[in-house]
Structure 1
Amino acid sequence: MAVRAEHDRAVLARLLGRDPVLHAYQLGDLDDFFWPYTSWFRRGEQVALLYHGVDPPTLLAFAAPADTAALGVLLADLAPVLPVRLYAHLSPGLTDALAGTFRLDAGGRHHRMALTDPARLAAVPRAGVPLESADLPGLRELYARAYPGNWFDERMLETGQYLGVREGGELVAVAGVHVFSPVYRVAALGNVTTHPLWRGRGLGAAVVAALCARLRESVTHVTLNVKADNAAAVRLYERVGFTRFADYEEWTLTAR
């Protein structure tokens, strides 16, 4: 059975929907908002996504432990036709399938977390108002100061799922999304940060709680990625009801 391009969103939704938390980002990328930037590859029941909306492109390949070997075969077949440089988000155990074609530079282990105890949201004070395109300058300034090097797709403001907290007219805390798809019932939090001078006051938890409550009106699964060694962020997310669901590894791949 050879790897092949897959263009049928219904087929992809069925395969990915068997584990919607593990595949939340991929399910979200089936949405019209992201679909034009995607290339999908399938071998049997296994699926990999190459997302072209960033430079370099990003390969997403996730599998439950029982399916790691099968997904590894897909990646080994796919490796010769991938770009010469790309990022990759991979479930543990998949790097061997790419190591013969690429040099892999580690970007660290991450947790995939999911909102599994939304009752905790009620115990967290909420803050934040929706941000719009007019807020872009302030948002860029906040990220430059508080979260340099983060990946921020400005188009995501169009979803209406970015909330901000202001003090004295200045944006000091924000929470947004990397993925938001009411059609496929998934969302992934991203671009969450607080101005360094305002940290330790609960603003991060407050704006995340407000955004989660807002997202739950439209989607079933609210997820996020967080670096495994970012203990403060993990504690924040656990406080508002997230739990660790799976781990994955980030890599930079460069053709040999």
Structure 2
Amino acid sequence: MTMRAHPLDRPIWHSLTGAHAPLALGDDRARRYQPAVHFFAATPDDSPASRAALARLMPSDGTLGLLQADAIAAPPGTQVRSCATINQMVLTALTSDGAPIEFLELTDTDAPDMLALATLTAPGPFFPETHRLGAFIGIRHDGQLIAMAGERTRPTAFTEVSAVCTHPDHRGRGYARALMHIVIARILARGEAAFLHVYASNTGAIALYEALGFRFRREMIYTILERA
């Protein structure tokens, strides 16, 4: 009997064929997010047919990002720009109490400020319409968006916590922890499990995530493809 693969081994594929299907381009062999939303793409397997379909989704002057448990050979006509190992962590229990904090529900009108903050702090790939992936919350100070956190991929029964960032001038005040706690509590209230990705070298972030109740699940391969 063949064991069924865990949805978190290919979180992007299970998101693009599930909760985020309305944001997807492609077919049953390969899918990607609409370019304004994200550059993530995925396939159900690493067969030649799937890799060929993935190549057809490659923009002529851009890149595609892949995140899965196993490395994938570059599809025809593409090449690997970068490849890195990244840790996947899953929440086992929300162990930290959330400190009271005033926050805002971020909407389409906040999109330019969200993109600006993400561009400044680099929490991960963020595009003009990345906020469409899920609910985002933030903190403003004197009208400026200074911290935010939200949701990214949504594979079966899971939601990824992402875009956790704080403006450099406002760090050290517990904003990231407080916002993450709210995002996670909402995910759990929906009956889903929370997970995230982090570079192993980012020990400060890992310490925060562990304090919140996240534990290492497995290493993932993060690959960026470009035209050959």
TM-score (norm 2): 0.77
* Matches of 1:117 and 1:157, distance apart in 2: 27
Contact 2:43 2:51 in 1 (8 A): no
Q: Does 1:91 align with 2:63?
A: no
Q: After the TM superposition, which residues 133-212 of structure 1 pair with which residues of structure 2 at under 5 Å, given as runs? A: 133-147=108-122, 150-152=125-127, 154=129, 156-157=131-132, 159=134, 161-180=135-154, 184-212=156-184
Hey, what does 1:65 align to over in structure 2? none
> How does the TM-score come out when normalised to structure 1?
0.69
What is the deviation of 1:155? 5.8
Distance in structure 1 (CA, Å) of the matches to 2:214 and 2:86: 14
Q: Match of 1:98, SS?
A: coil
State the secondary structure of the residue aligned to 1:51: strand
| Deviation readout 1:141-182 (Å, 9 max, x if unpaired) | 3223323873235363584x211123334321100111357x
Percent of paired sites with the same residue: 20
Runs of at least 5 residues in structure 2 that lack an aligned partner in the other structure:
none
1:59 aligns with 2:41: yes
Matched, 1:213 2:213: no
Q: Cα–Cα, structure 1 residues 57 and 25, in superposed 2: closer, same or farther, change >3 Å? A: closer
1:77–1:21 CA distance, 2 compared to 1 (3 A): closer
> Closer, same or farther in 2 for the Cα pair 1:174/1:254, shift >3 Å?
closer
- Aligned length, in residue pairs: 219
Deviation at 1:223, TM superposition (A): 1.4
If asked which structure has higher relative contact order (CA below 8 Å, sep 6+), I would say 2
Unaligned runs of 5+ in 1: 1-14, 43-48, 63-70
Structure 2 CA distance for partners of 1:153 and 1:22, relative to 1, 3 Å = farther
Deviations 1:190-217 (A, max 9, x none): 2110010111222111111111111211
Max Rg structure: 1
Checking the alignment, whether the CA contact within 8 Å between 1:89 and 1:249 is kept in structure 2 is yes
Kindly state the Cα deviation for residue 186 of structure 1 after the two structures are TM-superposed.
2.3
